[in-house]
């Protein structure tokens, strides 16, 4: 995991099982990107330079008409689905990292497992 130097965080963030306290200036690049603190190396919806890539879990979250549709994702229960649905921006989340920043989501959510989810599984 690559770390970057950012302006001191204004609040404490939990990220992939780690805690980055307010005032911290060295954070994982993915957290910095999700917070808008670092330039993106790829465009939203791309992976490994492939602009056609869209993560299935992110696509589901962004297109869900009701919160309960999000509950099919691993580790996402009714309360988390409701929080994610309520916090979803009009244009949708740009990344799962941005979804992970929704307030009051449990730290037990394994975002790597969510990212690997497939509707065909």
54 and 95 inside one domain: yes
Which residue range is the domain that position 96 belongs to? 46-121
59 and 118 inside one domain: yes
**25 close to 35: Cβ distance less than 8 angstroms:** no
- Total number of domains in the chain: 2
State the DSSP string of the chain: --EEE-SPPSS-EEETTEEE-TT--EEEHHHHHHTT-S--SS-TT-BTTBTT---HHHHHHHH-SSGGGGGGSTT--HHHHHHHHHH--TT--S-HHHHHTSTT--TT--HHHHHH--TT-
62 and 93 inside one domain: yes
Kindly report the backbone phi and psi dihedral angles of residue 36, in degrees, each rounded to the nearest multiple of 5, phi listed first. 75, 25
34 and 55 inside one domain: no
34 and 8 inside one domain: yes
76 and 111 inside one domain: yes
Closest to 114 in 3D by CA, of 29, 57, 31, 59: 57
Q: Is the dihedral of CA 87, 30, 47, 51 positive or negative?
A: positive
Token pair recorded at residue 121 = 């599984």
- Print pLDDT tens along the chain (121 aa): 677 788 788 888 887 778 888 888 888 877 777 777 755 444 344 444 434 445 899 999 999 999 999 999 999 999 999 999 999 998 889 889 899 999 999 989 999 899 999 888 6
Distance CA 62, CA 42 (A): 19
29 and 76 inside one domain: no
27 and 76 inside one domain: no
């Amino acid at each position: 995991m690559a770390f970057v130097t950012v302006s001191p965080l204004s609040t404490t963030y939990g990220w992939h099982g780690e805690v980055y306290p307010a005032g911290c200036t060295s954070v994982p690049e993915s957290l910095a990107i999700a917070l808008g603190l670092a330039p993106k190396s790829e465009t939203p919806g791309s992976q490994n330079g492939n602009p056609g890539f869209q993560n299935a879990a992110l696509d589901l979250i962004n297109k869900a008409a009701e919160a309960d549709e999000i509950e099919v994702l691993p580790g996402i229960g009714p309360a988390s689905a409701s929080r994610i649905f309520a916090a979803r921006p009009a244009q949708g989340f740009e990344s799962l990292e941005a979804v992970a920043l929704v307030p009051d989501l449990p730290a037990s959510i394994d975002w790597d497992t969510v990212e690997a989810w497939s509707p065909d599984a």
